[in-house]
Structure 1
Amino acid sequence: MRTVRPVAAVAAALLAATLAPTSASATPGSSSCTVRVPGAERVTGACLADLTTAGTVASGHTDPADWAGLEAPGTVNPSGVEGIQLDGYFPDSSTTNTNHGWNHDSQFVIRLPDHWNGGLVVAGPPGVREQYANDRLISDHVLARGYAYAATDKGNTGAQIYTDGRRPGDAVAEWHDRVAQLTVAAKRTVSRHYGRLPSATYVAGASAGGYLVRWQLENRPELYTGGIELHGLLFTPDSPNILDTAPAALRAYPRYRAGEPGAFEEMVAAGYPAASEPMWEFHYKNQWDSLQRVMREEIDPGYDGDREAGTPFCPADVQQGCDTDYVYADRPRRVHRTVERLSLTGRIGKPLITLQGTLDTLLPITRSGDVYAKMVEDSGRGGLHRYYRVTDGTHSDGLYKAFPSLVRPMSPCLKTGFDALAAWTARNGGATPPPSRTVPSAPAGSDTVNTCSL
């Protein structure tokens, strides 16, 4: 098993260093294209004519494969943002991220626009993707608004994240520290480049990245002005959590496909929304099984003995240690303690906007966003939270191509939500965003690929 460096201590030390700004080591329009990133083991810089994907795809400063499947066809993003891009990595002993031929984890990207509005946005990727995964979803939009942008690979990537760390849960726990580490380092880097610290720092993300937004605002709110998250993962000590939703689908869906009575009702009872059934086959083949096995192996590796991440698509009641048969409630106390270490509480310390689609078929909304919204309310932090349930939204905008009459993309809602968050937290008296609500279906003829009203 690979080991995790004590990055929490590193992040704390770097935070102390942000208390006073320093003179810039590179300024917009200067000949220097590299800014030192505190704590980084390696940094390379480039002055770019366009920091958005309209320019970075051609220049090789992003990886389109990292956001593949996350975007609806026809999405239009802004372009023409000049500035500096910094790529690098922090010290780490794991090697799952192969970007740049570095074979080194804890990679990051920082983008510093020439025309800066004083703000910073920090993001972690969805799933087990890498640092460029949010380039279309978040980076392009905020750069065009004038924000500096920073993203991390979370410290481990790919379908074998469970090999990172000394004990179960360590790989996910590292995600927490890597986001905080980059936040602190990016603040210091911004200070070096522009001559002052950011006036506002936001954390943003989707899915696994959304979970990290929640976690950061619960545990390290002093680092941020606020956050926005899209369909975040949910870890709680008891049900529901990420480990007990997918097994129900893995058991019921094959029976539904075979036409067995009661199987549809089992799917709906497990949280998978009625009307989403056209997408069930895709999720069965591509997401439920793989997500369950990877996350279960990370948290409960003893369930399947010496096998690594179980057996794909094993049928129910046939093989011992099959993830289809997994029942989180029946697992030993040590497994629940691991989940407790990663769990959310709802006790956010800064404003948070949450969005989730009602047809989310990977993380069902009644077992995820609805639950977290209640956790925030029950913790007495409801005044800091806005929760928008987007009718017909699903987990991946890439599904819009196959189901254009069924689902609507969530990307434009995330962008609208970010603008609402920035207005809400503005220093000169913020504009309160609309109350939490279920956003109705878009009017007929609307450009749902590029527009969303909350």
Structure 2
Amino acid sequence: MRLSRGVPFVAATLLVGALGWPAPVAATAVGEQHCVRQDHVRVPGAAFQQSACLVDLTTTGLAGTPHTDLADQAGLTARGTRTPTGVPGIQIDGYFPDSSRFNATHGWQHDAQFVIRLPDRWNGGLVVTGAPGTRRQYATDTAISDQVLALGYAYASTDKGNSGADFYRDGKRPGDAVAEWNTRTTELTRAARKAVAQRYGHAPRRTYMTGISNDGYLTRWQLENHPELYDGGVDWEGALWTANGPNLLTSLPMAVARMVGSARDEDLYAAGFARGSEFLWPYHERAYWGVTQKIYRAEFDPAYDSDCPGPSAGSTPEQIRAPCASDAAYDYASRPASVHRAVSRVALTGRIGRPLITLHGDLDALLPKAVDSDVYARLVDASGRGPLHRYFTIAGGTHVDGLYDTYPDRLRPILPCYRSAFDALVSWVERGTRPPADHTVGRPANGEVLNSCTLSTPVAPDAR
């Protein structure tokens, strides 16, 4: 029995213009094994790919080049976060066949873009991720890629097949755009495993799925539906989709109602928003709540309001982020069965087939954990998969670590806890060392939270 358990979106659509590719670095720059077999690596199924031999695959080495996009990472990590550097190897950028054109990275105007990084010193593993929110394939370079590359893993990330505030326009049926996120992640995982084998001579011995927010959702979905491809995963505040709720369309309308003055704070608490998170609400009103509700309502329930179909109804950033007044009264439970069927196409069940560690901040004001990860943990238990799951609540954690820079006395970054969770997953999978039981991770006695986190540090009883 478990201990008691107590998209998401990026507001700005960031555009990247066409950039030239630098000349390959000479192999002698870092050693004889640098970029060996670069010309032999072909990504199966890719419509286009371009590879480069680089002296450093981390963001420190790639900043200012077309091999990463720091703007698309904005807000995900706190200033002062320490990241490793100096990982030479091969980077492959490209795209799979796709009919949509939301992703302008490299000037390609083509979706289903991916990045694969193959370090010279390989530990035999592969880490797969995708873009959180509506970002693109480089979004988690600082948060995830840098660390796993330094550990020796190959790395692969996808834009999920559509991106930006108008991603809901992709597909023919309600739910198609989100459903594509799942198929594109599976597609990349299979292709990356084969690309790894071409580079190193054999397939990865271990493959891990991981991600933040929308890609935390993808991590859950992949371990439920394709456990044969992975050995385990770390889910960082994944979005929850269930056909009958809860989901974003059951919690966000109340937040929108508060924005337009038709709901009280007590109504938000009843909808799952945490007491103590009120200081974050003004920021979320400006950046997240209205536009996120519009996007997902337009994706799953396009018939609800023809006068306000989605973010494209606005022409300025303020109009795009503003809520539709009709969304304050949105009642998912009373919507037609067709809407619930659209959500059921991408719904989670909790039937994970591989070890999974979930992290969620107790001050998340976009995906409140009470109606998200708490519920998902119960789904895992109800499906009989509880022994495969660990769930850690991060005291003081919120949806994006960048807010720590504004509120260092109230928040803590989740990234250091994520890194500890990834290490714990590897120990669990590869050495049979089970992680601690579910609990709330409190602040360390020395107060250092920017670059350290010990999962075995439970919050003190009087601090709950």
Common fold, TM-score beyond 0.5? yes
Q: Is the 8 A contact 2:360 2:373 kept in 1?
A: yes
| Cα distance change, pair 28–275 in 1 and its aligned pair in 2 (3 A) | same
* Offset of residue 302 of structure 1: 0.3
Give the aligned partner of residue 319 of structure 1: none
Give the aligned partner of residue 397 of structure 2: 393
The answer to which of 334-343 and 262-271 deviates more is 262-271
Q: Is the 8 A contact 1:33 1:47 kept in 2?
A: no
Q: Are 2:101 and 1:95 equivalent residues in the alignment? A: yes
Q: Is the 8 A contact 2:36 2:199 kept in 1?
A: no
Q: Residue 243 of structure 2 is aligned with which of 237, 250, 254?
A: 237
Q: Which residue identity lines up with residue 435 of structure 1 in the other structure?
A: A
The answer to which of 280-289 and 31-40 deviates more is 31-40
Q: Residue 374 of structure 1 is aligned with which of 372, 378, 381?
A: 378
| Cα distance change, pair 144–292 in 1 and its aligned pair in 2 (3 A) | same
Give the aligned partner of residue 411 of structure 1: 415
Q: Which residue identity lines up with residue 297 of structure 1 in the other structure?
A: A
- Distance in 2 (CA, whole Å) between partners of 1:347 and 1:314 is 35
SS where residue 121 of structure 2 aligns?
A: coil
Give the aligned partner of residue 9 of structure 2: none
Give the aligned partner of residue 63 of structure 2: 57
CA deviation profile, 1:272-326 (whole Å, cap 9, x unmatched): 111111110000111011111011101100001254217664575xxxxx11211
Q: Which residue identity lines up with residue 427 of structure 2 in the other structure?
A: A
CA deviation profile, 1:183-221 (whole Å, cap 9, x unmatched): 000000000000000000000101000000000000111
- Distance in 2 (CA, whole Å) between partners of 1:440 and 1:154 is 34
Give the aligned partner of residue 284 of structure 2: 283
- Distance in 1 (CA, whole Å) between partners of 2:337 and 2:379 is 23
Q: Which residue identity lines up with residue 59 of structure 2 in the other structure?
A: T
Q: Are 2:142 and 1:145 equivalent residues in the alignment? A: no
Q: Is the 8 A contact 1:346 1:381 kept in 2?
A: yes
Give the aligned partner of residue 336 of structure 2: 332
- Distance in 1 (CA, whole Å) between partners of 2:350 and 2:281 is 30
Q: Which residue identity lines up with residue 330 of structure 1 in the other structure?
A: S
SS where residue 303 of structure 2 aligns?
A: helix
Q: Is the 8 A contact 1:105 1:155 kept in 2?
A: yes
* Offset of residue 55 of structure 1: 0.4
CA deviation profile, 1:210-261 (whole Å, cap 9, x unmatched): 00000000011100000111110000011211111111111135549xxxxx
Give the aligned partner of residue 199 of structure 2: 193
Q: Is the 8 A contact 1:27 1:193 kept in 2?
A: no
Q: Which residue identity lines up with residue 372 of structure 1 in the other structure?
A: Y
Q: Is the 8 A contact 2:59 2:68 kept in 1?
A: yes
* Offset of residue 271 of structure 1: 1.2
- Distance in 2 (CA, whole Å) between partners of 1:354 and 1:145 is 21
- Distance in 2 (CA, whole Å) between partners of 1:65 and 1:299 is 29
SS where residue 59 of structure 1 aligns?
A: coil
Alignment of 1:21-40 (within 5 A): 28-30=34-36, 32=38, 35-40=41-46
Give the aligned partner of residue 435 of structure 1: 437
* Offset of residue 353 of structure 1: 0.4
Q: Which residue identity lines up with residue 197 of structure 2 in the other structure?
A: S
Q: Are 2:204 and 1:202 equivalent residues in the alignment? A: no
* Offset of residue 32 of structure 1: 3.7
Give the aligned partner of residue 298 of structure 1: 299
Give the aligned partner of residue 177 of structure 2: 171
* Offset of residue 147 of structure 1: 0.2
Aligned residue-pair number:
416
Give the aligned partner of residue 462 of structure 2: none
Q: Are 2:82 and 1:76 equivalent residues in the alignment? A: yes
| Cα distance change, pair 49–289 in 1 and its aligned pair in 2 (3 A) | same
- Distance in 1 (CA, whole Å) between partners of 2:223 and 2:438 is 19
SS where residue 271 of structure 1 aligns?
A: coil
SS where residue 342 of structure 1 aligns?
A: coil
Alignment of 1:87-126 (within 5 A): 87-126=93-132
Q: Residue 364 of structure 1 is aligned with which of 368, 371, 385?
A: 368
Q: Are 2:402 and 1:402 equivalent residues in the alignment? A: no
SS where residue 304 of structure 2 aligns?
A: helix
SS where residue 49 of structure 2 aligns?
A: strand
- Distance in 2 (CA, whole Å) between partners of 1:294 and 1:364 is 18
- Distance in 2 (CA, whole Å) between partners of 1:166 and 1:306 is 20
Q: Is the 8 A contact 1:253 1:280 kept in 2?
A: no
- Distance in 2 (CA, whole Å) between partners of 1:175 and 1:52 is 25
Q: Which runs of 5 or more residues in structure 2 are unaligned?
A: 1-31, 314-318, 456-464
Give the aligned partner of residue 48 of structure 1: 54
- Distance in 2 (CA, whole Å) between partners of 1:129 and 1:84 is 23
The answer to which of 30-39 and 392-401 deviates more is 30-39
CA deviation profile, 1:170-192 (whole Å, cap 9, x unmatched): 00000000000000000000000
| Cα distance change, pair 142–307 in 1 and its aligned pair in 2 (3 A) | same
Percent identity for Structure 1 against Structure 2: 53
Q: Which residue identity lines up with residue 82 of structure 2 in the other structure?
A: V
- Distance in 2 (CA, whole Å) between partners of 1:263 and 1:205 is 33
* Offset of residue 441 of structure 1: 2.7
- Distance in 2 (CA, whole Å) between partners of 1:338 and 1:138 is 31
- Distance in 2 (CA, whole Å) between partners of 1:106 and 1:315 is 30
- Distance in 1 (CA, whole Å) between partners of 2:203 and 2:351 is 27
Q: Which residue identity lines up with residue 323 of structure 1 in the other structure?
A: D
Alignment of 1:315-326 (within 5 A): 322-326=326-330
Give the aligned partner of residue 460 of structure 2: none
Q: Which runs of 5 or more residues in structure 1 are unaligned?
A: 1-25, 257-261, 317-321
Question: Cα RMSD (Å) of the superposition?
Answer: 1.7
Q: Is the 8 A contact 2:428 2:435 kept in 1?
A: yes
* Offset of residue 431 of structure 1: 1.3
- Distance in 2 (CA, whole Å) between partners of 1:100 and 1:209 is 23
SS where residue 344 of structure 1 aligns?
A: coil
Give the aligned partner of residue 129 of structure 1: 135
Q: Is the 8 A contact 2:38 2:199 kept in 1?
A: no
- Distance in 1 (CA, whole Å) between partners of 2:36 and 2:390 is 42
Q: Is the 8 A contact 2:290 2:324 kept in 1?
A: no
With the length of structure 2 as denominator, give the TM-score of the two structures.
0.87
Runs of 4+ in 1 over 4 A off after TM superposition: 26-29
